[in-house]
Amino acid sequence: MMLLHRPRRNRQAETLRQMLAETSLQTADFIYPLFLIEGQNKAIEINSMPNIYRLSLDKLLEEVAQCVELGIKAFAPFPSLSDDKKDKYGTESYRKGSLYLEAIAALKKNFPDIVLFTDVALDPYSSDGHDGVVENGIILNDETLPILGKMAVAQAQAGADFVAPSDMMDGRVGYLRQALDAAGYTQTGILAYTAKYASAFYGPFRDALDSAPRFGDKKTYQMNPANRKEALLEAQLDFEESADMLMVKPALSYLDIISDLNQNFNLPIAAYNVSGEYAMVKAAAQKGWIDGEKVMLEILLSIKRAGAKVILSYFAKEFASLRKKA
């Protein structure tokens, strides 16, 4: 057969395939999410997320020490609060001495070189389980912003390197930038959850934090999975409001959105490989239906290939251990 083009030539040996790989993953690409709970010496595995634990602060510090040893240097802790700490306005979120703020300070004190991305949203602190203040069944936007502002400043003060608003209120990136600057935290960055979709893939996370909405859903603030152009609008606003990084969440069903943001904005793009995406891989692997390790690597690679520079993933530690062994 006379064939001018034979793309298979470039695939004929492993060395060649490695050399020509357009995308590769490194441990430094990852941010590892962590779940913080009250108490001491507690490590409670999350049912739907094998190998992921809710940790008391002492255990969290041990976990971070292990991760740092493996080369993971960036973390995104999330707090899980008992119901008695929750109220309508999420006041625990900026109370000096709160579990989360103490943990941020302890993490930075023990590991000065890590990069800490802290969560800004009302849901872990809210008795309504929503990301904003609720009045008559409506999630209020402008009334929520000052609380997010106080929360972000308190986190910056505790030692956060980046605050990461995951709430999807309008105007919050600009509001947080002003609040941080006014308090003197001009170097504290903002990782914006720019295109955060109202997704069923968050199920295991809400179980982990007991943060499911007490009524309704999050569709009046999180984006409709049907929409692509709207993600560009959200990105434009976050960009203009001075976000330092733009995030897409979830990752796997939203690779087109990651690609769009990467092509249109000159900021690093992050993607959140969320709890449900992790749970699906683990469940199928446990049943022996897929090779969990290979599927993990393929999924992470696809997120990077789509255009994400940074990946928040529960797989970070497993990936780092694999790399360390290799």
Alpha-carbon span 118 to 33, nearest angstrom: 10
Task: Report the nearest approach of ligand PBG to the CB of residue 13 (Å).
Answer: 39
By CB under 6 A, tell whether 234 contacts ligand PBG: no
Residue of 212, 278, 223, 238 whose CA lies nearest to 48: 278
Nearer to ligand PBG, 131 or 241 (CB): 131
Please work out the total of residues on this chain that contact ligand PBG, with binding judged by CB under 6 A.
Answer: 10
> Is 121 one of the binding residues for ligand PBG (CB under 6 A)?
yes
Q: Does 252 bind ligand PBG (CB under 6 A)?
A: no
Given the rule CB under 6 A, which of 6-14, 81-89, 201-209, 291-299 is the region that contacts ligand PBG? 201-209
Candidates 53, 205, 254, 315; binder of ligand PBG (CB under 6 A) is 205
Q: 73 an active-site residue?
A: no
User: Minimum distance between the CB of residue 84 and ligand PBG, rounded to whole angstroms?
Assistant: 20
Active-site residue identified among 59, 85, 86, 196: 196
Stretch that binds ligand PBG, among 24-32, 139-147, 173-181, 198-206 (CB under 6 A): 198-206
Contacts 24+ apart (CB under 8 A), 279-286: 279/48, 279/49, 279/203, 279/204, 282/49, 282/50, 282/51, 286/50
Query: How many residues can be counted in the chain?
Result: 326
Count CB neighbours of 168 within 10 A. 25
The torsion angle over the Cα atoms of residues 145, 148, 150 and 155, rounded to 10 degrees, is -160
- The Cα 118–Cα 100 span in angstroms is 9
Residue whose Cβ sits closest to ligand PBG = 205
Query: Residue 126, interface with ligand PBG (CB under 6 A)?
Result: no
Is 94 a residue that touches ligand PBG (CB under 6 A)? no
Task: Please tell me what DSSP assigns to residue 122.
Answer: S
> What H or E segment, with its residue span, contains residue 192?
strand 189-196
Residue 196 sits at φ, ψ, to 5 deg, of -110, 120
274 binds ligand PBG (CB under 6 A): yes
Q: Tell me, rounded to whole angstroms, the distance of Cα 158 from its chain centroid.
A: 19
Determine, following the binding rule CB under 6 A, whether residue 155 of this chain makes contact with ligand PBG. no
Query: Exactly one of 27, 56, 155, 166 binds ligand PBG (CB under 6 A); which one?
Result: 166
Is 59 labeled as catalytic in the residue annotation? no
Which residues belong to the active site?
196, 249
Please report, as ranges, the residues that interact with ligand PBG according to CB under 6 A.
121, 123, 131, 166, 202, 205-206, 218, 274-275
